[in-house]
Amino acid sequence: MKKILVLGTGGTIASVKTEEGFKSSLDINEILRHAGIKLHNGYEIHTKNILNIDSTLIQPEDWEIIAKEVYSGLRDYDGIVISHGTDTLAYTSSMLSFMVQNPTKPVVITGAMKPITEPGSDAVKNLRDSLLFAMEAKIGGIFVVFNGKVMNGCRVSKINSVDVDAFKSINYPDIAYIDEGGQIKYNANILDSYSRPRGSLKLDTQYDPRVFVLKLIPGLDSRVIDGLLDMGCFIGSDKWNF
Ligand code: ASP
Q: Is 226 in the same domain as 124? A: no
Question: Ligand 1, atom 7: nearest CA belongs to which residue?
Answer: 85
Q: Is 109 in the same domain as 229? A: no
Q: What is the CA(173)–ligand 1 centre distance, in A?
A: 25
Report mean pLDDT in 10-residue bins for the chain, 242 residues: 95 95 94 85 90 97 98 98 98 97 97 96 97 95 98 97 97 96 93 81 93 92 94 67 43
Whether 134 is in the pocket of ligand 1, judged by its Cβ within 6 Å, is: no
Q: Is 107 in the same domain as 156? A: yes
Instruction: Check residue 184 and report its DSSP letter.
Output: E
58: left (phi over 0), alpha (psi -120 to 50) or beta: beta
Q: Is 99 in the same domain as 172? A: yes
Q: How many CA atoms lie within 13 A of 36 on its CB side?
A: 2
Instruction: Check residue 71 and report its DSSP letter.
Output: H
Q: What is the CA(184)–ligand 1 centre distance, in A?
A: 27
Helices (H) and strands (E) in the chain, counts: 6, 14
| pTM > 0.75 | yes
DSSP 123-169: HHHHHHHHHHHHHH-SS-EEEEEETTEEEETTTEEE--SSSS--EEE
Q: Is 87 in the same domain as 177? A: yes
Cα gap 97→90, rounded to integer Å: 11
Residues 101 and 137: beta-carbon distance below 8 Å: no
Q: Is 160 in the same domain as 241? A: no
Q: Is 23 in the same domain as 128? A: yes
Q: What's the confidence (pLDDT) of residue 240? A: 44
Q: What's the confidence (pLDDT) of residue 40? A: 66
Whether 113 is in the pocket of ligand 1, judged by its Cβ within 6 Å, is: yes
The CATH number for 18's domain is 3.40.50.1170
Whether 86 is in the pocket of ligand 1, judged by its Cβ within 6 Å, is: yes
Q: What's the confidence (pLDDT) of residue 189? A: 86
Give the ligand 1 atom nearest the CA of 54. 9
Q: What's the confidence (pLDDT) of residue 191? A: 82
Residues 65 and 24: beta-carbon distance below 8 Å: no
Active site residues: 12
Q: What's the confidence (pLDDT) of residue 234? A: 75
Q: Is 163 in the same domain as 217? A: no
Q: Is 185 in the same domain as 104? A: yes
Q: What's the confidence (pLDDT) of residue 33? A: 94
Residues 1 and 77: beta-carbon distance below 8 Å: no
Residues 114 and 85: beta-carbon distance below 8 Å: no
For helices 28-35 and 123-136, angle between their N-to-C axes, nearest 10 degrees? 100
Cα gap 187→181, rounded to integer Å: 17
| Number of domains comprising the chain | 2
Whether 115 is in the pocket of ligand 1, judged by its Cβ within 6 Å, is: no
Whether 54 is in the pocket of ligand 1, judged by its Cβ within 6 Å, is: yes
Q: Is 153 in the same domain as 229? A: no
For residue 136, give its domain range.
3-203
Give the rounded distance of the alpha carbon of 189 from its chain centre: 23
